[in-house]
Amino acid sequence: MEFKTILFYIFAAVTVLAALRVITARNPVHAALFLVLAFFNVAGLWMLLQAEFLALVLIMVYVGAVMVLFLFVVMMLDINIEEVRQGFWKNLPLGALVGGLMVAEMAAVLSGRYFSLANLPPQTLPANYSNTKDLARVLYTDYAYPFEIASVILLVGIIAAVMLTLRRRKDNKAMHSSDQIAVKSKDRMRLVKMAPEVELPAPENKGEQA
């Protein structure tokens, strides 16, 4: 057996186990961390397919950014597992239907008879082949407009998310750094010129003060 085949089975086995633990782990933080493990192993699988750009971007985007924010939220929430598990039997038929549909569709694609996957020539890539360069060339020439449209849609999504949660509360006491930095010494302190005062002899104290 070739070494790459052994690697494939290791990555695949860990992916499946981690993915199973994502849905069976009782603690939501553990589940999220198992999802991170699954992402890592999928990145390893893609690396074996010589798709190093996709593999590294998967780690950078999903592991480095998305899952960090996901963990951030999961840690902040105090999720009661028993409550979450209550609807299990009620939701099972619908869930099984969706899951079964996805498995069937994937099997249809992967079995490949109708998609002529078997006709594809086996890839033999030279050692200096750059996946990144090829991807970029196609993305910025043939698919320039779909790429731009997709990025604009994402930008709209970002702005929409910000606007939905933006509430200018009246009772907010947060400080604005820009206002603070813009402050001049004149705004805070006033120098007053006045004639020097002459000290008068203090009036004599009548009786002790308590």
Partner 1 sequence: MEATVLNLLASILGPLWAPLWAVAKPVWPLIWTLARIVLIMAPLLLCVAYLTFWERKIIGWMQVRIGPNRVGPWGLLQPIADGLKLFFKEVLFPAASDKKLFVLGPVMAIAPALALWAVIPFSPGWVLANVDAGVLYLLAVSSVGVYGIIIAGWASNSKYPFFGAMRASAQMISYEVSMGLALITVLMVSSSLNLTDIVMAQSKGRFAGYGLGLLSWNWLPLLPMFAVYLISGVAETNRAPFDVVEGESEIVAGHMVEYSGMAFAMFFLAEYANMILISAMTSIFFLGGWLSPIGFIPDGFHWMAAKMAAILFFFLWIRATFPRYRYDQLMRLGWKVFVPLTLVWILVVGVWMMSPLTIWK
Give all strands (DSSP E) within the chain, no chain letters.
none
The one segment of 9-17, 114-122, 130-138, 163-171 that binds partner 1 by CB under 8 A: 130-138
Q: Which residues of 147-157 are buried (b: 16+ CB within 10 A; e: fewer)?
A: eeeeeeeeeee
130 forms part of the interface with partner 1 (CB under 8 A): yes
Among 17, 25, 45, 63, binds partner 1 (CB under 8 A): 63
Smallest separation, CB 184 to partner 1 (Å): 18
37 forms part of the interface with partner 1 (CB under 8 A): no
Separation of alpha carbons 13 and 168, rounded Å: 50
Among 6, 60, 79, 102, binds partner 1 (CB under 8 A): 60
Task: Please give the backbone phi and psi of residue 189, each rounded to the nearest 5 degrees, phi first.
Answer: -140, 140
Smallest separation, CB 5 to partner 1 (Å): 18
140 forms part of the interface with partner 1 (CB under 8 A): no
Smallest separation, CB 142 to partner 1 (Å): 20
The DSSP call for residue 58 is I
Question: Interaction with partner 1 in 16-35: which residues (CB under 8 A)?
Answer: 27, 29-30, 33
131 forms part of the interface with partner 1 (CB under 8 A): yes
Among 23, 76, 104, 166, binds partner 1 (CB under 8 A): 76
Q: Say if CB 75 and CB 29 are below 8 A apart.
A: yes
Tokens of 165: 């949660």
Helix intervals (H) in 27-176 = 28-48, 52-57, 67-76, 81-85, 88-111, 131-140, 144-165
Task: Please give the backbone phi and psi of residue 129, each rounded to the nearest 5 degrees, phi first.
Answer: -70, 130
172 forms part of the interface with partner 1 (CB under 8 A): no
Tokens 């890592």, residue located:
40
DSSP helix/strand/coil, 122: coil
Among 64, 95, 146, 157, binds partner 1 (CB under 8 A): 64
Longest Cα–Cα distance of the chain, Å, equals 114
Among 166, 174, 191, 202, binds partner 1 (CB under 8 A): 174
68 forms part of the interface with partner 1 (CB under 8 A): yes
Tokens of 207: 């009786």
Point out which residues bind partner 1 (CB under 8 A).
Answer: 27, 29-30, 33, 36, 52-53, 56-57, 59-60, 63-65, 68-69, 71-72, 75-76, 128, 130-132, 174-175, 177-178
